[in-house]
Amino acid sequence: MYKIKEFLDVLENFAPLKLSKIMIDAGDYDNSGIIINHHEKVEKVLFSLDLTVNAVNEAIKLDCDTIVTHHPAIYNPIKSLDVSGESRAVLMAATNGINVISMHLNLDVADSGIDECLSQGLGVNTARILDFIDEKHGYGRETEIPPVSVSEFIESVKETFDTDKVLFYGDGVVNKIASFCGGGASHAADAVVKNLTDADTIVTSDMPHHVLLSLLERGKKVMILPHYVVENYGFNKFYERVTDITKGNVDAYYFTDKRFM
């Protein structure tokens, strides 16, 4: 058993909240940390990428006292709580006595965080950071893999990330990849325009058409994966690392929302 702030300390060993603050100070927005502090005791924890009604129902079924999410359970200010609105999951967690902790931007850029896990899932164990936020952490990864055909690369990604929802633009051979977790399309475009990377293939999610057009016009191949698929992969790795430390003190479970896979 942990007290809630002791458990947060464990999570911060892997993804310090100071990384989120650095990004906020640079102009990003986040709301990481303890979102609902209902009680001190942390004994049974559910990890879920999002705080959804499905996730809260799973936590209730498993008798969990705490939920850890990647995406902030409360991102924008909530003006009212409504059992039929977007705040329903927050209200359900609070009324059922469930703590909620979110680890967002800090986990994106942490060592072995969401961004790094994406690059590892694409084929390698080491990658170069493209945009540093301090002396050792940053966003965007460039990595080389042994040359592989587009069709082989697509099949490998589908298998690794357990999804059929893959869009790929371009043909030929994939050799050097620049990857950006989550909604990283604008960062991808900036990295290419500023010559931070000469990767032949860009991998990210949530790409507007004008960004896709710009990248294709610059001769890049582009893979677009669902936001949930990319970040669920890395968040599951985070869950595994945390539970290696906390086993014996906490019972931990992982919830994947198959609607998005």
Q: Which amino acid is at 135?
A: E
* H helix count then E strand count, the chain: 10, 13
- Helices 53-61 and 88-95 sit at what angle, rounded to 10 degrees? 20
Q: Specify the pLDDT at position 126.
A: 77
Q: What is the pLDDT of residues 167-194, one digit of tens each?
A: 999 999 999 999 999 988 999 999 999 9
Q: What is the pLDDT of residues 109-139, one digit of tens each?
A: 999 999 999 999 998 777 899 999 999 999 9
Q: For 247, phi and psi rounded to 5 degrees?
A: -60, 140
The least confident of 45-59, 77-91, 125-139 is 77-91
> Rounded to 10 degrees, what is the CA torsion of 45, 49, 55, 59?
0
- Residue pair 166/158 in contact by the 8 Å Cβ criterion: yes
Q: Does the domain formed by 111-228 have CATH 3.40.1390.30?
A: yes
pTM listed for this prediction: 0.95
Tell me 71's DSSP state: S
* Start-end of CATH 3.40.1390.30 domains in the chain: 2-107, 111-228
- CA atoms of 101 and 97, how far apart (whole Å): 13
Arch. (CATH architecture) of 2-107: 3-Layer(aba) Sandwich (3.40)
- Residue pair 69/51 in contact by the 8 Å Cβ criterion: yes
